[in-house]
């Protein structure tokens, strides 16, 4: 018997899970007894609930590493790439939609699923069992699978007839964004990740932060025929150029735009409103969503405030943006409160932004796509177009050290978030793992990544900005950094 494990730490983590579960029960009981709508108390309770859930998530993950042998833990991590491979298969072969359509969602045998999507039944059964073992799908009977709350999240809601006749269009549906996000991550991004070691150990590439020297470029060039790219292509493109220029990649660009809408599913629908005080803006305020894609992130701002919104992106993306707003908020289009501008943010801000006296520039999930030298160009152009009263809102991940150091505590103290209790990691560990996975995903896709608060502070100071507020609504996941022009 192996008792070399740290039983004291195991006991502390178990107690933390128990106490956090008790907190959730208390909050549920209090919510059932409340008769009045107390928004202030609701916000306090929501914060307590998020902290309790984060404690459970982090403690449970940390506990699992302590009660298994290190070899089991590490080798399990090494094989984890099979999970995204399996997710990609079930999304692209429409398994969630098939299960919803079969037997009123009660489940279906792999033989019946195979007859519809053409995937070999025996192989498909093994893939579904892997996912069911990790709580995606339920295996109701041997080889009979049904949707559950996890698999339903990647169900686009499109009819079975629709997904079979127009498979690529299923991501355009109201519920298709999150499925698109998982599809992009398990397809293009996963392939890019396979080449991270090659790029980082190549002496000609390791010190480069140019996007065309990213792991993505090694995955695609030179001489790569993957994704339909011809052998004769010699100029390496960055990932955005590749999606925007190759005609055969048009569907990928559309899926990527849908995926950005799907990111909103990772946070509450009104997450963008939980931070910067958008409600303080008047009806003559102009918000410029720089590189805003289809504008899904800024839609709640338009819905809940009287501001005017300018969405800037490349023309091919804006075609999809127009369709998105026609479906989700047509009144904003008809009234002219929302307009689109074809703009490359590496060029000076267009007169449509400058003449409109922009009140706020929004950069949501933009900075992590670009290393510092490229990010500085974007920020300087925005600074040149800003007035002294203009504010810049950056929505991106914030990285922290996983160790408890005085510097880490000082950075944490600048944010409106709760410090994790011992013995959890100072950055919330697994409960905040998405931010760190996004960081490496941006490295593999674009040769860039997330930043620490200190790194943002230096970057902004060098481009004429000064951080004044950092809002932390979901622990360290997608905080909001508010900056003003230096000297204001």
- On whether both 293 and 365 belong to a single domain, the answer is yes
Q: Mean pLDDT throughout 342-360?
A: 83
Residue 452 lies in a domain: yes
pLDDT of residue 240: 86
CB-neighbour burial class of residue 290 (10 A; exposed 0-12, middle 13-18, buried 19+): buried
Q: 3-class secondary structure for 120-181?
A: CHHHHHHHHHHHHHCCCCEEEECCEEECCCCHHHHCCCCCHHHHHHCHHHHHHCCCHHHHHH
Which H/E stretch holds residue 30?
Answer: helix 7-33
pLDDT score recorded for residue 301: 95
Over residues 367-371, the mean pLDDT reads 96
Q: pLDDT band at 247, cuts 50/70/90? A: confident
Residue 405 has pLDDT above 80, yes or no: no
Q: Which of 115-129, 166-180, 355-369, 407-421 has the lowest mean pLDDT?
A: 407-421
Per-residue pLDDT at 413 exceeds 50: no
Residue 66 and residue 132 in one domain: no
The answer to whether residue 174 sits within a structural domain is: no
460 close to 451: Cβ distance less than 8 angstroms: no
Single residue among 44, 78, 112 that ends a domain in this structure: 78
Same domain, 73 and 91: no
239 domain-assigned: yes
| Rounded alpha-carbon distances, angstroms, from residue 83 to 143, 212, 215, 273 | 19, 28, 21, 34
Is the domain of 121 the same as that of 60? no
- The whole-number pLDDT of residue 45 equals 84
Q: Is the model's pLDDT at 113 over the cut of 70?
A: yes
Q: Distance (Å, rounded) from C-alpha 478 to C-alpha 396?
A: 5
Residue 227: CB partners within 8 Å, gap ≥ 6? 188, 220, 249, 252
The confidence score (pLDDT) of residue 255 equals 92
| pLDDT value, residue 66 | 95
| Residue 182 domain-assigned (yes or no) | no
Mean of pLDDT over the chain: 89
Is the Cβ–Cβ distance between 472 and 420 less than 8 Å?
no
Q: Over the stretch 253-305, which tens digit does the pLDDT of each residue have?
A: 889 989 988 888 888 778 888 889 999 999 999 999 999 998 988 999 999 99
Question: What's the farthest any 2 CA atoms get from each other in the chain?
Answer: 74
pLDDT-derived band at 245, boundaries 50, 70, 90: confident
pLDDT value at position 228?
44
Give the chain's domain count.
4
Task: Establish whether 368 is a catalytic residue.
Answer: yes
Tokens at 107, concatenated: 């489940």
Q: Indicate if 293 and 396 belong to the same structural domain.
A: yes
Percent of the chain with pLDDT over 70: 89
Kind of pairing between the strands at 398-399 and 391-395: unpaired
User: Which phi-psi region, left, alpha or beta, contains residue 133 (left: φ > 0; alpha: ψ -120 to 50)?
Assistant: alpha
Are both 252 and 292 inside the same structural domain? Answer: no
The answer to whether residue 470 is domain-embedded is yes
Asked if the peptide bond before residue 423 counts as cis, ω within 30 degrees of 0, the response is yes
pLDDT of residue 469: 94
Give pLDDT tens digits for 184-241.
999 999 999 999 999 999 999 999 999 999 999 888 874 443 444 444 445 678 888 8
**Active-site residue, from 109, 343, 368, 374:** 368
Q: Which residue has the tokens 């950005």?
A: 260
What is the gyration radius of the CA atoms in the chain, in angstroms? Answer: 24
In a domain, 71, yes or no: yes
Q: What pLDDT digit, counting tens, does each position of 10-53 carry?
A: 999 999 999 999 999 999 887 766 655 666 777 788 888 989 99
- 199 and 305, same domain (yes or no): no
CA distance 75 to 131: 18
Classify residue 227 as exposed, middle or buried by CB count within 10 Å of its CB (0-12, 13-18, 19+): middle
Whether residues 204 and 284 fall in one domain: no
Q: What is the per-residue pLDDT for 418?
A: 67
The domain that contains 314 carries what CATH number?
A: 3.40.50.150
Q: Please indicate, yes or no, if residue 175 is contained in any of the structural domains.
A: no
Segments forming the whole domain that contains residue 23: 7-78
Q: Are residues 298 and 405 in the same domain?
A: yes
Same-domain pairing of 406 and 257 = no
* Predicted local confidence at residue 383, as pLDDT: 96
Choose one of 203, 229, 262: the last residue of a domain.
262
- Is 284 a member of any domain? yes
Distance of CA 28 to the CA centre of its chain: 29
Clarify whether residues 355 and 478 are in a common domain: yes
Q: Name the strand (E) or helix (H) holding 35.
A: none
pLDDT at 5: 78
| CA proximity to 286, closest of 305, 300, 313 | 305
Are residues 318 and 417 part of one domain?
Answer: yes
Q: Of 215, 238, 262, which marks where a domain is finished?
A: 262
CB-based contacts of 487: which residues, under 8 Å, 6+ apart? 388
The CA-CA-CA angle for residues 332, 338, 344, to 5°, reads 155
Q: Which residues lie across from 467 on neighbouring strands?
A: 483
Q: Which of 443, 446, 441 is nearest to 241 (CA)?
A: 446
DSSP sequence for 286-306: EEEEET-TTSTTTHHHHHHS-
Cis bond upstream, residue 60 (ω within 30): no
């Amino acid at each position: 018997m192996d008792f070399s494990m740290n039983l004291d730490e195991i006991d502390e983590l178990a107690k933390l899970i128990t106490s956090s579960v008790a907190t959730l029960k208390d909050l549920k009981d209090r919510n059932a007894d409340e008769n009045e709508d107390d928004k202030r108390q609701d916000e306090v309770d929501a914060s307590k609930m998020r902290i309790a859930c984060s404690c459970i998530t982090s403690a449970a993950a940390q506990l699992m590493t302590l009660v298994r042998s290190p070899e089991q833990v590490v080798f399990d991590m090494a094989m984890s790439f099979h999970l995204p491979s399996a997710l990609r298969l079930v999304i692209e072969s429409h398994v969630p939609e098939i299960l919803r359509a079969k037997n009123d969602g009660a489940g279906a045998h792999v033989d019946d699923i195979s007859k519809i999507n053409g995937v070999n039944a025996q192989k498909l059964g093994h893939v579904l069992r892997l996912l069911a073992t990790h709580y995606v799908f339920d295996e109701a009977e041997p080889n009979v699978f049904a949707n559950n709350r996890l698999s339903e999240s990647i169900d686009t809601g499109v009819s079975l007839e629709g997904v079979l006749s127009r498979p690529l269009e299923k991501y355009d549906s109201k519920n298709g964004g999150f499925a698109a996000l998982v599809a992009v991550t398990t397809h293009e991004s996963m392939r890019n990740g396979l080449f991270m070691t090659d790029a980082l150990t190549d002496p000609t590439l390791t010190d480069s932060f140019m996007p065309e020297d990213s792991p993505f470029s090694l995955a695609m060039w030179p001489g790569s025929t993957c994704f339909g790219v011809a052998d004769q292509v010699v100029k390496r493109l960055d990932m955005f150029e590749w999606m925007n220029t190759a005609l055969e990649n048009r569907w990928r660009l559309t899926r990527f735009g849908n995926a950005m809408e799907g990111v909103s599913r990772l946070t509450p629908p009104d997450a963008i409103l939980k931070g910067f005080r958008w409600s303080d803006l008047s009806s003559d305020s102009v918000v410029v969503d720089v590189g805003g894609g289809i504008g899904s992130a800024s839609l709640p701002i338009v819905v809940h405030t009287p501001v005017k919104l300018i969405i800037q992106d490349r023309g091919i993306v804006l075609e999809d943006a127009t369709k998105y707003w026609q479906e989700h908020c047509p009144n904003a289009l008809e009234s002219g409160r929302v307009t689109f501008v074809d703009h490359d943010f590496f060029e000076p801000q267009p007169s449509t932004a400058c003449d409109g006296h922009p009140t706020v520039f929004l950069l949501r999930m933009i900075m992590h796509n670009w290393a510092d030298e490229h990010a500085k160009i974007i920020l300087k152009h925005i600074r040149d177009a800003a007035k002294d009263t203009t504010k810049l809102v950056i929505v991106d991940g914030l990285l922290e050290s996983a160790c408890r150091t005085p510097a880490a505590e000082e950075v944490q103290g600048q944010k409106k978030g709760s410090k994790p209790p011992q013995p959890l990691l100072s950055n919330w560990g697994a409960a905040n793992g998405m931010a760190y996975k996004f960081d490496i995903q941006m490295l593999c896709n674009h040769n860039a990544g997330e930043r620490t608060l200190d790194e943002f502070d230096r970057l902004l100071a060098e481009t004429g900005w000064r951080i004044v507020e950092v809002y932390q609504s979901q622990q360290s996941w997608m905080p909001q950094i508010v900056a003003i022009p230096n000297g204001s």
